[in-house]
A and B are shown apart, each in its own frame.
Chain A
């Protein structure tokens, strides 16, 4: 499912408030009725749902692995990660993100659009009130009347979080040679 082109946006001219997260282009998507933003530079591609192979003895939010054209990549279930109820509507797609050369997929309800969010529209995260652990957020964007939670995807998918506890993350180079 390709993302729709970015809606034309009025770019705010006033300087960004100090302390607020940077603005920029974000891919917005829906999860449990709320809209989120994901930095577009981290997005590799958007793919439709496909069968996921469950991997035993991994954290609950790791749904499993898929075959992305011959490459095996892990899939993270954001609802479980954020402690939300399981979806009652079918999930439609996965966003493949690329972090430090490692590709991972996240399952979302629905992808919306690519938006440009001016830095001035980004506000720091209030310490409470968000449905998501505030550690995982870069900020909250209020653009054209809608509120989007900007995800710090690196933190959400940080290797310590995803890889099981006891083991050392192997460098990407090694996995290349042993494949």
Chain B
């Protein structure tokens, strides 16, 4: 018992020194160069002190030292800003609960008797509690980040307060004393912000966010305990709890509240009667937890997916019935009418089932917001994060894939894009960088844009690196976007320094992979010192493709409608052959190459004369092309199915779909088809548009 107590009370091996330095920092004269240097030296020494085992602490300390070192004494500037930013970083170190040093691992708290779930607990109730509390935490985190921009937003404070309050109440009801005790402290802190006893500072925000994280860890522990493991206390629990209660205590002007808080904190630490004070007042609040739950039903995602699959099959079965010859040829129009009616219902059902799987991008954006905040702190940078269109909806199955690319791109933006405040001011930019994340719907696609106003991509460095890695021989003839595309190559990284967060050369290839898997595209635009813009285009859903059924010879293919701009039958005067570039068609002053599907796929018996066939204009920008097919058959909504399980990746085919007659139709991958056509006639030559 005593060993644990002493461990908990010493937050970090470095803290005594840390406190000293913090005190010195406060007293520093911004104009006293020698003193600033002295403190800088102490910080740097502490950062490299082997006793400081935690890497994050080291990084924060050295950032603080760097901030002080960046002061331009010669130009007459004083160190006010540097001292402020150093203090903020230092504050961050001190808030860090001691034991998070153990890289987020958990340890059992031997001193605490409660290493099991309450004996009479209902596993289902606990499971629900964990899921529900997680949602509250997500909402709380979002509100906390909002508060950073608008500290007086009382609605946001209330959201956070409510979240902690509800978690506390339900936890107490379920006998999860540690959670309720902790939530109680967090709630008290927020309560004082709410009643405007204390101002919402970044220190306060930090505490609240850390508290949310801690509750999340406590929930994970409960979940693990449900799976039969011992109920462990997350590392740093006691330290953060103590810190919270001391924080509430030190802000003096609320005698009543702080007194009870203090009492609670003391009792929590007392070995004899642990964890009672926090739970007692809250047991009556549990109904609040269930409010607002009636409007939705939680459904397991695998059931939802199965439902959508089955509805997809039903649509096919329905269209097979309605296309059946005995029905179309029947004199009994009555039957046909009934079948058509059933078809309408089926289609409506399909639309409904698809919409059930659509979720807003908001949670993904929130994760990014938190990430930006943390990364900026760690890197000693000032970043303002702006989001737009986070209510844009996307297929739930795609959300998991989109999170990873976003995280990598944002890491890159903060770590390599946005410069240090001093460098920014030197360039005449505002000290705080801006990262703008937005989403919107455009022509049946979801577009996600990530824009930063950092230093932009360095074309020369990318080219050098690509040559060094043997990716290219020279950049002759490569457009900027060709060059920028290189950063998606596996193992490519332009960062000179390997940092904690990025720069190990993994990341951007993950971005490309995930986006390819989603049938999306990513484009980069960049201007030196103006920043960088990543544009990701994604289909709304992977499950259904709106397609045009086309015939080539005896084969039929589905071309996604989204790819087709228009289709027409050309006249002789529009066709020409250009040496070295093959057949071209001229439409409204635009010259486009003709892509013969029958030639690329080797289909016999197709119409070869364009005047008797049909040209479909597909693709974008310099990748526009006219695809030659025999005829358009019909427009179809098809359920996309993967061919990969048995065949691997088939060139120029993105998947299969079951057509109205029950046969399989292949869905063409138009960009790949065009790429294939380009390779085919003059292989080896890179065509530069």
Contact = CB atoms under 8 A, between A and B. Distances in A.
Given A53-B664, A53-B666, A65-B664, A72 B643 contact: yes
Contacts of A72: 641-643, 656, 658, 664
Contacts of B653: 55-57
Nearest to A66: B664
Interface stretch (A10-18, A41-49, A157-165): A157-165
Interface in A159-179: 159, 162-164, 166-170, 172, 174-175, 177-179
A84 interface: no
Nearest to A62: B647
A178 B647 contact: no
B647 A54 contact: no
Interface in B599-655: 600-603, 640-653
Nearest to B662: A67
A156 interface: no
A51 interface: yes
Contacts of A54: 555
Contacts of A58: 647, 650
Interface string A54-76: 11111000101111001111100
A157 to B, nearest CB: 9
B397 interface: yes
A103 interface: yes
B42 interface: no
Given A51-B663, A72-B658, A175 B649 contact: no
Contact of A74 (B316, B647, B662, B663): B647
A104 interface: yes
Interface string B531-569: 000000000001100000000000100000000000000
Contacts of A168: 648-649
A6 B313 CA distance: 36
A62 B653 CA distance: 15
B644 A55 contact: no
Chain A, interface SS category? mixed
A54 B600 CA distance: 14
A178 B651 contact: no
A102 interface: yes
B517 interface: yes
B645 A102 contact: yes
Contacts of B644: 169-170, 174-175
A54 B666 CA distance: 9
A159 B646 CA distance: 7
Contacts of B312: 70
B511 to A, nearest CB: 17
A22 to B, nearest CB: 27
A178 B517 contact: yes
A168 B603 CA distance: 26
Q: Which of B397, B603, B644, B647 counts the most chain A CB atoms within 10 A? A: B647
Given A73-B646, A164-B651, A53 B313 contact: no
B278 interface: no
B665 A159 contact: no
B646 A74 contact: yes
Nearest to A169: B648
A164 B649 contact: yes
Nearest to A167: B649
Contact of A162 (B601, B603, B647, B656): B647
Contacts of B650: 55-58, 164
A71 B651 contact: no
Given A57-B601, A164-B651, A179-B641, A70 B316 contact: yes
Contacts of B664: 53, 64-67, 72
Given A65-B643, A72-B656, A163 B649 contact: yes
Contacts of B641: 71-72, 179
Contact of A104 (B543, B601, B646, B663): B646
Chain B, interface SS category? mixed
Given A67-B664, A102-B646, A179 B658 contact: no
A179 to B, nearest CB: 5
A50 to B, nearest CB: 8
Contacts of B600: 56
A104 to B, nearest CB: 5
Contacts of A70: 309, 312-313, 316, 658
Contacts of A62: 647
B146 to A, nearest CB: 33
A56 B601 contact: yes
A175 B646 CA distance: 10
B645 A172 contact: yes
Nearest to B310: A70
A170 B656 CA distance: 16
A4 to B, nearest CB: 28
B683 to A, nearest CB: 14
A163 B648 contact: yes
A67 B603 contact: no
A57 B651 contact: yes
Nearest to B676: A57
A31 B360 CA distance: 55
Contacts of A163: 646-649
Contact of B543 (A53, A66, A67, A179): A179
Contacts of B666: 53, 55-56, 65
A96 B457 CA distance: 52
A102 B316 CA distance: 23
B662 to A, nearest CB: 6
A71 B643 CA distance: 10
Contact of A175 (B645, B651, B658, B663): B645
Interface string B228-246: 0000000000000000000
Q: Which of A56, A66, A159, A163 counts the most chain B CB atoms within 10 A? A: A56
Contacts of B517: 174, 178
Contacts of B397: 177-178
Given A56-B602, A71-B641, A72-B664, A65 B648 contact: no
Interface in B641-689: 641-653, 656, 658, 662-666
B685 to A, nearest CB: 20
B646 A103 contact: yes
Q: Which of B312, B602, B656 counts the most chain A CB atoms within 10 A? A: B656
A107 to B, nearest CB: 14
Contacts of B651: 56-57, 164
Contacts of B656: 53, 65, 72
B156 to A, nearest CB: 35
Nearest to B397: A177
A162 to B, nearest CB: 6
B201 to A, nearest CB: 44
Interface string B243-276: 0000000000000000000000000000000000
Contacts of A56: 600-603, 650-653, 666
Contacts of A53: 555, 656, 663-666
Contacts of A64: 664
A57 B646 contact: no
Nearest to B552: A56
A56 to B, nearest CB: 4
21 contacts: A55-B653, A56-B601, A56-B603, A56-B653, A57-B651, A57-B652, A57-B653, A65-B647, A67-B658, A71-B641, A72-B642, A72-B643, A73-B645, A102-B645, A104-B646, A163-B647, A168-B649, A170-B642, A170-B648, A174-B644, A179-B641
In order of increasing CB-CB distance, the 5 nearest A-B pairs are: A163-B648, A167-B649, A56-B601, A74-B646, A175-B642
Given A164-B650, A178-B642, 15 more contacts: A53-B656, A53-B665, A56-B653, A57-B601, A57-B651, A58-B650, A67-B658, A70-B312, A73-B645, A104-B646, A163-B647, A164-B651, A167-B648, A167-B649, A168-B648
Interface of A: 51, 53-58, 62, 64-67, 70-74, 102-104, 159, 162-164, 166-170, 172, 174-175, 177-179
